[in-house]
A and B are shown apart, each in its own frame.
Chain A
Amino acid sequence: MRKTAIQTKDPHIQALARIVGGEKSILYKKEDLIAYDCDGFTVHRHLPKAVVFPKNTEEVAAIVKYCHDHDLPFLARGAGTGLSGGAIPLNGEVVISLTRMKRLLHVDLENRRAVVEPGFVNLKLTNSIADRGYYYAPDPSSQYCCTIGGNVAENAGGAHCLKYGVTTNHILGLEVVLPNGEIIEIGENGIPDPPGYDLLGLLTGSEGTLGIVTKITVRILKNPEAKQTVLAYFDRVEDASQAVSDIISAGMVPAALEMMDQTAIEGVEAAAFPVGHPKDIEALLLIEVDGISAGISEQINEILHICKKRNVREVKVAQSEEERARWWANRKTGFSAMGAISPDYLVQDGVIPRNKLPEVLKNIRAISKKYGLRIANIFHAGDGNLHPLVLFDARKPGETERALAAGSECLQVCAAVGGSITGEHGVGIEKKEEMRFIFSDEEIVAQTDIRDVFNPKNLLNAGKLFPTPGRCVEMKQVASSIK
């Protein structure tokens, strides 16, 4: 292969270029770096020092070792779909893009596992095994483009994790490059409960601050024999919430149980995948039940009964796979659909005990009023994971700041009812100060102590996940004032 000369005198760039095999696998000119100055969280931007594209674990390890030895900050990046800023090079990092490590290495259907490289796209895994009737369960809405490596870093969820769990429940093994360049393998051969502390569990969701995952063994599942999907329109959001509680307490575990409020419905209906939802309802529920075909109709009947008892205006069961797919496309593009009714939007990701929903929605409406910004709610209602979408216009002076403040206040509301500040998007940059809403100083130190074991020089993805020391007092006052 002909190598183009590197047009910089920066010795680090030259050294990194040598590791990855030349000009084609590194970006270092400003105009090329701009695309990497943020991820799905666009409020903060910072240019990386360079972006490198390793092809294999050894190259990742060599890059990391070089950065470690030369005190260069670095971080890993997948598809850049993260919503909390985990892949933003805050400190001018060397960005290690894993998009060229995108092979499906091994599929073992008999033993229900697959081995992928971190840049392998989530949905491609399901597509690769669908002909044999298998799938990979975690299904974040960005699954058509997000990578499994990124899913591991963020412990990604999705609409169907109510029944099947989030990423951490499906990871059997990891190959990891530690922040000093050493390569380790945890969960060899994907065998559960490897003796020792559960490092698989610790690394999953560590937002790229403990190591860089270079190979992933995941559990794959057999498709359910049958599934049915229900769409229910409610005039009152309280009735919809109550129906959710009733379904859960009736002893059912639906595969998915999603809610959208009126503003969210307005957005999805104005966007690319409208399905004709009425605009004057306060909430809709999208409910999916799957499992053994012989048991499905009984559960569907019970759900229909519950919805009727809770004053549903209209409730229907999808009559075809095509109809079901349309309902889901409408829901899964819900965030980006807000673009149809607002120039900008900010997604939040609070979690609440399910029975606190009416109270929390009321408080969010008050926040919306207080800041003069519309807030749409898309909600994984079954597991209490709320996504308030704060709609704003960044061109108007001060509105971005107001939107951020409104988003943060939504999280305070979630924390105050015993919930969490993030259910699946991660803390990243966005919510690091809000960590104070739910953790004490000692509890945060307990976590940074663990980071120090893996990442003692804190060169890997520094400045994420944990609050800046010193701001704790004011954040705590805010938190306690709303209790």
Chain B
Amino acid sequence: MLPLAWKDDLTTFLPEEQVKIDGQTHPLGNGGHVTVYPQTEAEISAVLRYANSHGKKVCIVGGGTKRGFGGQMECADILLSLANYSGIVEHAAADMTVTVKSGTVFGQLQDYLAEYRQKVALDPAWPQYATIGGVIAANDSGPKRLGYGSARDSVIGLRTVYPDGTVIRSGGKVVKNVAGYDMNKLFIGAMGTLGVLSEITLKLRPLPKYESLVLLSFPSGNLEEVRSFAVQFLDSMMEPVCFELLSPSLSERLIGKRAYTLMIAFEDVESAVHYQEDYVQRLRPSHTTIRILPQEEAKSFWQTFYTIGPNGAAPHEPAGNEVEAAVKIGVVNLNVISIIRESELLEDCCHVHMEAHGALGHGLCQVYLKGSEESIITAIEQLRAAATSLGGYAIVKHLPFALRTRVNVWGEKPSYFFLLEGIKRKIDPKQTLNHQRFVGGI
């Protein structure tokens, strides 16, 4: 046991029951010798002020779903858990904005808003575990990003606790605002390396009056045909909120059909949704198969879909020495087809199980891998090579701690890395927060 005499310092500003010694390390790392559970913003400030002035390193955790996402520290001094910092601060229903504490579970927020027929226009993975703070800090987005944008399009205001304990507000509570720098953008996707998100203000969207999901499978396996259909469809005036290609392996798991499958979702008034379904029917090649999931069936499909990747909060005990990984790849829109194809080829040559999907309307793909440690590392390298050869990037969103030391989670540093480093140095000069969690060891 490490000498943790300083643990008693924490109880001078936190109640005893909000401070816990955690003796065990976590297979995904990003832990802390002491876990603290602040319940107020003032307590978050106090923890950071203490850590920053005593040279302690702090890891931040919400629901823990992204615990395997980046990070070179197995165990920091303090793990700051936001699990007990939750709840809605203000819901201005008529203005369609909500302010929420960062530890609020995403799914609970959506359930609450649904009573007002409103929603946060994000659909991240593991909504019943992930917190809104984690979703924003990691910039997680889901298949409906095509229709609704990502965190940067929904967040309108933040209260962020800086490493020295100062609370910095950015943005505001109005949906349009250009006063000063758009500081919100700095904290979205910063992986908690600049500050602890305390309160988040989001603009909301109305729940759609009707929705459906069209699943269009191409049993021929001919990707030229997929491409040609996609190009024609995207050149039409249809307005899908999701237009993603599933790899045959993922399609098999989700709908029992081993074929390239397009997931095309519509959300609008009912007549407009049916009109678009008909459009797909008319445009699709004759030998494709189509399934249309209306309303509740679509909703239930999505709930399953959001749980297809690894969940850092509930890692399965994998069989033998098998490990799980997730990779996010960004390429130019239609090059998604090449990435999905590549994942299928790599499955055979790397001896890993691989499932992939990617958005032909914006170019982001997710690849989920299962296999032995060595084969996973090889497969990640191959995927990255494929992405970079197309001018894109690959980042590793989930990997056990032991393997993260062997893989460059974020890929090569960008040419303007000195600016990222400069920003980190200004805000967190002592590298107190989520040290080494982000690009280039920031």
Contact = CB atoms under 8 A, between A and B. Distances in A.
Interface residues of A, number: 89
B278 to A, nearest CB: 9
A352 B176 CA distance: 9
A111 B227 CA distance: 12
B61 interface: no
B181 A450 contact: yes
A251 B268 contact: no
Interface stretch (A70-78, A262-270, A336-344, A434-442): A434-442
A30 interface: no
- Among B175, B235, B239, the one with the most A-chain Cβ atoms within 10 Å of its Cβ is B175
Contact of A169 (B153, B207, B209, B414): B153
Interface in B132-171: 139, 149-150, 152-153, 162, 166, 168-170
Contact of B94 (A201, A245, A438): A245
Given A111-B332, A252-B206, A294-B274, A222 B236 contact: yes
Given A189-B392, A298-B271, A450-B181, A438 B331 contact: no
A452 interface: yes
A443 B206 contact: no
Contacts of B239: 224, 291-292
Contact of B174 (A133, A191, A298, A384): A384
Contacts of A383: 174-176
A198 B176 contact: no
Contacts of B411: 195
Contacts of A380: 176
A290 B216 CA distance: 27
Given A421-B179, A423-B178, A222 B392 contact: no
Interface in A257-305: 291-295, 298-299
Contacts of A292: 237-239, 268, 272, 275-276
A81 interface: no
A420 B174 CA distance: 7
Contacts, number: 247
A453 B419 contact: yes
B241 to A, nearest CB: 12
B235 A294 contact: no
Interface in A422-467: 422-427, 431, 435, 438-440, 442-444, 446-447, 449-454, 465-466
A198 B70 CA distance: 17
A195 to B, nearest CB: 5
Interface string B205-248: 11101000000000000000000000100111111000000000
A9 to B, nearest CB: 38
B226 to A, nearest CB: 14
B80 to A, nearest CB: 21
Given A191-B332, A294-B275, A205 B439 contact: no
Contacts of A200: 185
A353 B419 contact: no
Interface string B169-193: 1101111111111111110111000
Given A222-B236, A449-B427, A195 B395 contact: yes
A224 B181 contact: no
A112 interface: yes
Given A422-B178, A423-B178, A439 B169 contact: yes
A165 B65 CA distance: 30
A383 B95 CA distance: 9
A353 B235 contact: no
Given A165-B149, A205-B181, A355 B92 contact: yes
B176 A442 contact: no
Contacts of B422: 453-454
Given A192-B363, A294-B271, A423-B174, A251 B209 contact: yes
Interface string B256-272: 00000000000011011
B410 interface: yes
Contacts of B178: 154-155, 157, 166, 205, 420, 422-427
Contacts of A423: 174, 176-178
A192 B153 CA distance: 13
Given A251-B207, A383-B176, A447 B231 contact: no
Given A253-B206, A450-B186, A169 B149 contact: yes
Interface string B288-331: 00000000000000000000000000000000000000001011
A291 B268 contact: yes
A198 B237 contact: no
Nearest to B417: A196
A10 interface: no
A129 to B, nearest CB: 12
A415 to B, nearest CB: 9
Nearest to A252: B206
B179 A427 contact: yes
A438 B171 CA distance: 10
B112 to A, nearest CB: 17
Given A192-B364, A435-B179, 5 more contacts: A169-B149, A195-B393, A196-B414, A196-B439, A420-B172
10 contacts: A161-B176, A185-B416, A193-B364, A197-B185, A198-B185, A199-B416, A292-B272, A292-B276, A439-B169, A444-B180
Top 10 closest pairs, chain A to chain B, by CB: A201-B185, A295-B272, A251-B206, A225-B237, A294-B275, A292-B272, A453-B422, A295-B269, A423-B176, A198-B185
Interface of B: 92-97, 117, 139, 149-150, 152-153, 162, 166, 168-170, 172-186, 188-190, 194, 205-207, 209, 231, 234-239, 268-269, 271-272, 274-276, 328, 330-334, 361-364, 391-393, 395, 410-411, 414-417, 419-420, 422-423, 426-427, 438-439
